[in-house]
Structure 1
Amino acid sequence: MSIYVGNLAYNVTQDDLSEVFAEYGTVRRVYLPTDRESGRPRGFGFVEMSSDEEEDAAIQELDGAEWLGRSLKVNKARPRDGGSGGGGRRN
């Protein structure tokens, strides 16, 4: 599973994000999507950690935390829906 990290500052790098999440365990992968046309960061990313326990600890501590002047939104990433264009959370 991976963690969704939203409301990131646009100048955040993969190394920056990895460093923050490393405080909660081993970071296996960081992905920061970019806009296809401009190549600029989109303001969100994904982090994979070594265990669910590490991911849970990072989510608990970082969701709502202020970092680089922004309040982070951190939660379990939801699987892609195959093109519905987003939408609300399913219960």
Structure 2
Amino acid sequence: MDQAKNESGGSLFLRSLRNHLIGSVAATLVVGGGLLAFDVGQIRSLALSTGDGPLFLVLLFLGLLSTFGAVALAVAVMTLPKSDGGKADGI
């Protein structure tokens, strides 16, 4: 059986990526919600006072999600177990 597969047949990488994705979505909601709840830099006031408030909120949360998602992907890749016994490539 392949080392990259777990008992249920799913890929270890995809399972790890899914878990990190859930964490990045949670971090996005916490940070974005905190920015709006505490009105940091009057960001909530600005969003509510303009007609483009929904667009602003979509862009804010998509920006945060892409940032936290990239970090989560990097962490997921870097924490995968090495399949070559831990030897460095070419060194």
Q: Give the TM-score band, short-chain normalised.
A: under 0.3
Higher helix share: 2
TM-score by length of 1: 0.25
| TM-score normalised by L of structure 2 | 0.25
Q: For the pair shown, which has the larger CA radius of gyration, 1 or 2?
A: 2
